[in-house]
């Protein structure tokens, strides 16, 4: 079994914000796999995909800064080792629409990842970071990440979400190293 987690904030007011790109990617993956049966479990929206391997799609409902409080109990309940967890989230340090896959490491200042690292004590999970770019001059970071994508960004974001979902499928079928070689460009 694998767990694919999209990080974001619950609630309609956050649904299409930059900080919720992880939720958007998991929703598109669910759509791609025709998964529609979501349920609440351990402070998360959870759905199962049964292919050659069962994949648990997860959207923590704890708010970003407490994401680990949803992920850790789910991993324990399903007995999934952290190396079989893939986390998709936004990254301010990457240009809008750029993808970067990484295995292990720190949080890079991302509060959702900080929470997972703190709650689990582990860092050996796969990360798919989707670039949202830096805020324009004069913008506060919090307002920027909780803001919506501009029409000019829409195409790049849509493509990045699709690539992130392709990367998830590649990790599951071919392993993390092949996915990293294929999707870490530029």
pLDDT for the residue 29: 97
Q: Is 19 a catalytic residue?
A: yes
Q: What residues of the chain score a pLDDT lower than 70? A: 186
Asked if 164 and 25 count as a contact pair (C-beta separation under 8 A), the reply is yes
Q: How many CB atoms lie within 10 A of CB 143?
A: 9
Burial of 55 (0-12, 13-18, 19+ CB in 10 A): buried
**CATH code that applies to domain 2-183:** 3.40.50.1470
pLDDT tens readout for residues 37-78: 999 999 999 999 998 899 999 999 999 999 999 999 999 999
pTM strictly above 0.85 = yes
Given 2, 18, 19, 98, the catalytic residue: 19
pLDDT for the residue 87: 98
């Amino acid at each position: 079994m694998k767990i694919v987690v999209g990080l974001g904030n619950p609630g309609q007011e956050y649904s299409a914000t930059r900080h919720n790109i992880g939720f958007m990617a998991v929703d598109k993956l669910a759509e791609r796999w025709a998964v529609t049966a979501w349920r609440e479990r351990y402070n998360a929206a959870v759905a199962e995909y049964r292919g050659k391997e069962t994949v648990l799609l997860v959207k923590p409902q704890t708010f970003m800064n407490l994401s680990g409080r949803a992920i850790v109990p789910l991993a324990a309940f399903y007995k999934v080792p952290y190396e079989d967890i893939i986390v998709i989230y936004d990254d301010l340090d990457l240009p809008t629409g750029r993808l970067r896959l990484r295995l292990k490491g720190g949080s890079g200042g991302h509060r959702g990842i900080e929470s997972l690292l703190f709650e689990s004590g582990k860092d050996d999970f796969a990360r798919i970071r989707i670039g949202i770019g830096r805020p324009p001059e004069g913008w506060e970071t919090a307002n920027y990440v909780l803001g919506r994508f501009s029409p000019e960004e829409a195409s790049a974001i849509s493509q990045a979400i699709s690539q992130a979902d392709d990367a998830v499928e590649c990790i599951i079928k071919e392993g993390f190293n092949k996915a990293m070689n294929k999707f870490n460009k530029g």
